[in-house]
Amino acid sequence: MKLLYGSVMLLALLLVNGCGPMTAFPPEVTEGADTNFDFNAWWALPKATVGRKVQLGGRIIQVNERNEGFVIIAAHLPVVEHPAYGPRDIGKRAGEYAIFYAGAITPKSLRPGNRLMVIGTTEQSQVVNVDEVQRNIPSLTAQCLHIWNTGGKEIAEFPYNAGAGYEPLEENTFCLSDR
C-alpha cells in the first residue's frame, strides 16, 4: 500500500511540475528582473532607465565579435507563453537594441534570425554598426542569454516531439559564471 501511495504521489508531483510555467533561466538569475519592462519607453529615452535588471525577447539581426565578447543586435519581440514559450514576431515593427555579452556562445546560436531572451542590466545607448551604418541604440549588458536556433522561423512552428522525421528545436542557455 505504501508503494502504491508513494508512486501516486511521485506521479502527481511530476504532473504538477510539468504544468508549471517554463523557465529558460535559473531562478537566481531571474530574481529581481522586470519581465514586463516597457521597451518602447526605454527605446525612446534610454537614459531614463539605466541600471535596471530586465528580461527582453528578440530576434538576432547581426552579431559583432569583440575581444571581450559579443555585441548582439536584436530586434525586440515580446515574450509570450502560448502557443510556445519565448519571443514571438507579432508583425509590429519594434526597435533594435544591443546586447553586450562577455562570455562564450556557440557559433550556431549566433546566426541571424534565431530567437533569444536575455536577462541583463540596461545601459546608456551605444553607437554600434548595424548593416554597416552607425546607429545609436539602447543597450544592455547580459547576465544570461537563452537562444533558440530557429533560423528565422517561429518557435511554435517546431514540433514538440522528436522522431518521425521531425527536426527538434535546439536551444541553449548561456550565463556568465562570475555573477
Domain 23-175: which topology? OB fold (Dihydrolipoamide Acetyltransferase, E2P) (2.40.50)
pLDDT band at 166 (very low <50, low <70, confident <90, very high): low
- Other Cβ atoms closer than 10 A to 94: 18
Span 151-163, mean pLDDT?
Answer: 69
Three cell numbers, residue 7: 508512486
**If DSSP codes are grouped into helix, strand and coil, which group holds residue 122?**
strand
pLDDT digit string (tens) for 56-105? 999 999 999 988 899 999 999 998 876 567 787 777 767 999 999 999 99
Mean pLDDT across the stretch 143-164? 78
pLDDT of residue 129: 84
The tens digit of pLDDT for each residue in 128-148 reads 888 888 999 999 999 999 999
Number of H helices, E strands in the chain: 3, 8
> Residue 9: what pLDDT?
45
Global confidence as pTM: 0.80
Question: Structural domain boundaries of the chain?
Answer: 23-175
Q: What is the pLDDT of residues 1-19, one digit of tens each?
A: 554 444 444 444 444 344 4
